[in-house]
Amino acid sequence: MKLDDLRPAPGAKKRRKKIGRGPGSGHGKTSGKGHKGQHARSGGVKGGGFEGGQMPLYRRLPKRGFVPHGGRTEYAIVNLEALGRFAANAVVDPDALVTAGLIRRSDRARVKILGEGDVAHALTVKAHAVSESARAKIAAKGGTVEVLGARVSAS
């Protein structure tokens, strides 16, 4: 096989319709646009949300809230009571939380520890965000908290 032998599969490439090339082409004269009317004019067809002059749905509905540029940062939430399944002095990081079944693998990029419940023993917690109450409860049991930077991909 040579490079000049390579061809697309039969029927894989379709020629575009050539319009306005005379009556012999079958697409001459009105070029498939029919006679007169809005759709036959240049720049004719109205936009997707147009409802014939009626106030469009997207303008009738109330607007609420504000999402800053880039969107809201979504965290995988883990409460302190769920960390009880880890052994004393264990390192609790996003990968360990996935292994324990507390978060999905795709949620490892952003993990936040909240202070609901209590921790039984000292742990080394590594997460992207930790609430003040969770930080205080972990420190009270002799554990440490390390805040991670954001990961680029969550795959």
Give the chain's domains with CATH numbers: 76-147 (3.100.10.10)
Q: Which residues of 11-45 are buried (b: 16+ CB within 10 A; e: fewer)?
A: eeeeeeeeeeeeeeeebeeeeebeeeeeeeeeeee
pLDDT beyond 80 at 153: no
For 71-121, write each residue's pLDDT tens digit: 888 899 999 999 988 999 999 999 999 999 999 999 899 999 999 999 989
Tokens of 45: 């067809």
- Mean pLDDT, to the nearest integer, of 8-18? 93
Distance CA 86, CA 121 (A): 9
By percentage, how much of the chain surpasses pLDDT 90? 74
Q: Side chain identity at 11, as an amino acid letter?
A: G
